[in-house]
């Protein structure tokens, strides 16, 4: 796969975290994430589309309008690393971090692991 293909799949997945309707979230996850995916971050573990979509919906309920942008994305040999910032609806950065991902042979994500940094201004 090319870096552009990895980047496109990651962008679709990352967009699914945004304030979008349920049908669009389902479409983006179906397009970019394998059905047997595993997502982990310090707050939890999700397996499969159903658990992941529920997690993303809860994220938007907890932080309405929050979204992510990448500062760096690099990928090779079915793996990727993204450095990102989460923003509030007004465009203010709220936290940064990095994510590690693995891709299947079909180009969809199979594993996503988030590593958030401390919130800006946190000691």
Say how many domains are in the chain: 1
Host H or E run for residue 60: helix 48-62
pLDDT value of residue 36: 97
pTM for the full predicted model: 0.91
Extract the residue ranges of the chain whose pLDDT is less than 50.
Answer: 120-123
Give the structural domain span for 111: 3-115
Check residue 122 and give its pLDDT. 41
Q: Which residues contact 79 (CB under 8 A, 6 or more apart)?
A: 100, 101, 102, 103
Domain-embedded: residue 122: no
The Cα–Cα gap between 34 and 27 comes to 12
Give me the pLDDT at residue 118, please.
Answer: 65
pLDDT at 1: 87
HSE value, Cβ hemisphere, 13 Å, CA-based, for 107: 13
Asked if residue 120 is part of any domain, the answer here is no
For residue 104, the domain's CATH number is 3.10.450.50
Residue pair 34/110 in contact by the 8 Å Cβ criterion: yes
Which pLDDT belongs to residue 123?
A: 37
């Amino acid at each position: 796969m090319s870096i552009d293909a990895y980047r496109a799949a990651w962008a679709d997945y990352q967009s699914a975290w945004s304030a979008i309707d349920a049908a669009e979230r389902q479409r983006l996850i179906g397009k970019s994430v394998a059905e047997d995916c595993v997502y982990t971050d310090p707050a939890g573990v999700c397996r499969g589309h159903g658990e992941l979509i529920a997690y993303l919906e809860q994220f938007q309920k907890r932080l309405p309008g929050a979204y992510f942008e990448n500062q760096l994305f690099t990928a090779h040999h079915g793996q990727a690393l993204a450095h990102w910032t989460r923003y509030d609806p007004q465009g203010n950065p709220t936290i940064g971090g990095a994510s590690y991902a693995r891709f299947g042979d079909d180009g969809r994500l199979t594993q996503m692991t988030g590593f958030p940094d401390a919130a800006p201004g946190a000691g």
